[in-house]
Amino acid sequence: MEIHVAEKEHDTLRIELPKGEETILIPLVEALQAEEKVVEARYYLGHPFLDRPSLYLKTKGEKPQQVLKRVLKDLADLYGDALQDFEKKADKVKA
**pLDDT tens readout for residues 12-59:** 999 999 988 888 899 999 999 999 999 999 999 989 889 999 999 999
Q: How far apart are CA 3 and CA 84, in angstroms?
A: 27
Segment 64-86 mean pLDDT = 90
Segment 70-87 mean pLDDT = 87
- Report the helix count and the strand count for the chain, using DSSP H and E: 2, 4
Taking the model in full, what pTM does it have? 0.82
Residue 78 has what pLDDT? 87
Residue 84 has what pLDDT? 82
Q: Which amino acid is at 29?
A: V
CA dist 17 → 4, 11, 12, 33, 54 (Å)? 7, 20, 17, 19, 6
Q: Is the pLDDT of residue 93 over 70?
A: no
- CATH number, domain 4-90: 3.30.1360.10
- What are the domain boundaries of the chain? 4-90
